[in-house]
Structure 1
Amino acid sequence: MAQNDRTAFVMRDRSWHPRPYAPAYKTSVARSPQQALVSLQTPTASELTGPDFDHFALGLYDNDLLLNFRPGTEQDGLPIGERLIVYGRVVDQYNKPVAGTLVEIWQANAGGRYRHKKDAYRAPLDPNFGGVGRTITDADGWYRFRTIKPGPYPWPNDVNSWRPAHIHVSVMGPSISTRLVTQLYFEGDPLIPLCPIVHTLDDPDAVDTLTARLDMAAARPMDCLAYRFDIVTRGALQTYFENQS
């Protein structure tokens, strides 16, 4: 396939993705495929064209999770927790920037609690933190959020399973067929190698694509640290996505 063919799909390496059946990740067992997987052979026009976000109206604080739940000034009450900048580039399999695409995030608060009615974890809700944000990539594929570092939390996979600190990420990509969902972890978190979900990935390089790197050059002195998380939407080097198991 020619390298200048920007619309062609690259065959995915199945060894890069998690095993379809992973008994150690217990809640996934009932959702594991029961039939052979089917691969797209010839993408249709609807799969190669994407939504146009040029006229998508964003709010002033949509990408600022410190302010977007209770819009106002920083003196009006801020979320509790470690302040962070999370940023990076969205690119395709040829390292071409994916410009003008929608990136959305959602996360737990600093105590590991989601603002969701079914989250029964004992950690308290933060009255100043909603835990969701969105932005659109610029001409070079860059995105940026300001938020707080989410806390780890227990989950009933086994007697003492804990999720590492993580942020869920949805990116539309260059077309309808590349709307993908993943999650980022933070460099150096000791819970990453203990997580049953992470254990579904056999290739350490695949886990590496999910790890945001500390970037002191992008940190704001006396304000917040910065982590960089680049996203490859598809192809041989794509970021692992949880909806492409």
Structure 2
Amino acid sequence: MLDHDSEFIARDTASHPPALTPIYKTSVLRSPRLPLISLQNSLSEVTGPVFGYNELGPLDNDLLRNYAREGGEPIGERVILHGRVLDGNARPVPNVLVEVWQANGAGRYRHRNDRYEAPIDPNFGGCGRAVTDDEGRWHFRTVKPGPYPYRNRLNDWRPAHMHFSVFGSGFAQRLITQMYFEGDPLIRHDSIIATIPDPDARERLVAKLDLGASVPLHTLAYRWDIVLRGRRSTLFENKLQGN
């Protein structure tokens, strides 16, 4: 751990997984072998960009429609995802760019390197973005992503999950994590989630069913708040200082 004037504080391994976690095979090759070095951020990294609503298209947060062909719609379980971005004192954080990307309802990403045999949905792109309002609120419409197998252990499957990026006031403040869905039986079998030693930290990555925000006879809703700092903060994959 560096002194208090440094920009780098050691990761809290009681909450964050260590860099080397052999249960997740790819960490063996990509985890650092030498201590990390703290570098002074440049001006371009700690300032800008500034995001506003005028930079978003009308369908950017509607994954059901933003890639669909005329008259078409994605295949899968329709869901609404919503929540707030909050600081460590539960205060809303406005004007934050929240981006999501995901697999389609069959568990396949629209990416040339995805070789899973599930079909590509011609009406689903799998990407969206939103800017938080004055109360820190964001929401997306999408289809619930399907699980998919991955080459880790013999029969490992990823639970349904969404990738989230939260962009702060500078390029160095981009935070990335994954969100899961309440009740998914694959969560307790997932090798990636298993690298997180703190059960409470794992639970903070799970969106809760929110029937109050659902559309009757049409769409279920899930709520997931993103907490940037403090004891109840969301676990981020690339947040060096941990929780």
TM over 0.5: yes
**Which residue number corresponds to residue 161 of structure 2?**
166
| Deviation of the 1:71 alpha carbon | 6.0
Distance 1:244 1:29, change over 3 A: farther
| In structure 2, distance between residues paired with 1:162 and 1:25 | 12
Distance 1:55 1:186, change over 3 A: closer
| In structure 2, distance between residues paired with 1:18 and 1:67 | 37
Q: Which amino acid aligns with 1:53?
A: F
| In structure 1, distance between residues paired with 2:161 and 2:188 | 13
Structure-1-length-normalised TM-score: 0.87
| In structure 2, distance between residues paired with 1:107 and 1:130 | 9
Aligned residue for 1:171, secondary structure, equals: strand
**Which residue number corresponds to residue 3 of structure 1?**
none
Q: Do residues 213 (structure 1) and 208 (structure 2) align?
A: yes
Q: Which amino acid aligns with 1:209?
A: R
Q: Which runs of 5+ in 2 are unaligned?
A: 1-6
Distance 1:158 1:14, change over 3 A: closer
Q: Do residues 119 (structure 1) and 117 (structure 2) align?
A: no
Residue 103 (structure 1) aligned to one of 84, 94, 98: 98
| In structure 2, distance between residues paired with 1:178 and 1:23 | 28
Query: What's the C-alpha RMSD, in Å, of the aligned pairs?
Result: 2.3
Q: 1:115-136 deviations in whole A, cap 9, x for unaligned?
A: 1011110110111111000111
**Which residue number corresponds to residue 137 of structure 1?**
132
Q: Paired residues, what number?
A: 234
| Deviation of the 1:178 alpha carbon | 2.6
Q: Which amino acid aligns with 1:34?
A: R
Q: Which runs of 5+ in 1 are unaligned?
A: 1-7
Q: 1:4-48 deviations in whole A, cap 9, x for unaligned?
A: xxxx999863311111210110011111121224568x9887666
| In structure 1, distance between residues paired with 2:168 and 2:239 | 14
Q: Do residues 147 (structure 1) and 147 (structure 2) align?
A: no
Is the contact made by 2:50 and 2:169 (CA closer than 8 Å) also made in structure 1?
no
Distance 1:93 1:171, change over 3 A: same
| In structure 2, distance between residues paired with 1:21 and 1:10 | 18
Q: Which amino acid aligns with 1:13?
A: D
Is the contact made by 1:13 and 1:236 (CA closer than 8 Å) also made in structure 2?
no
| In structure 2, distance between residues paired with 1:11 and 1:37 | 9
| In structure 2, distance between residues paired with 1:150 and 1:229 | 16
Q: How does 1:162-201 map to 2 (within 5 A)?
A: 162-201=157-196
Is the contact made by 1:11 and 1:236 (CA closer than 8 Å) also made in structure 2?
no
**Which residue number corresponds to residue 3 of structure 2?**
none
Structure-2-length-normalised TM-score: 0.88
| Deviation of the 1:55 alpha carbon | 6.1
**Which residue number corresponds to residue 227 of structure 2?**
232
| In structure 2, distance between residues paired with 1:205 and 1:51 | 33
Is the contact made by 2:106 and 2:119 (CA closer than 8 Å) also made in structure 1?
yes
Identity fraction in percent: 55
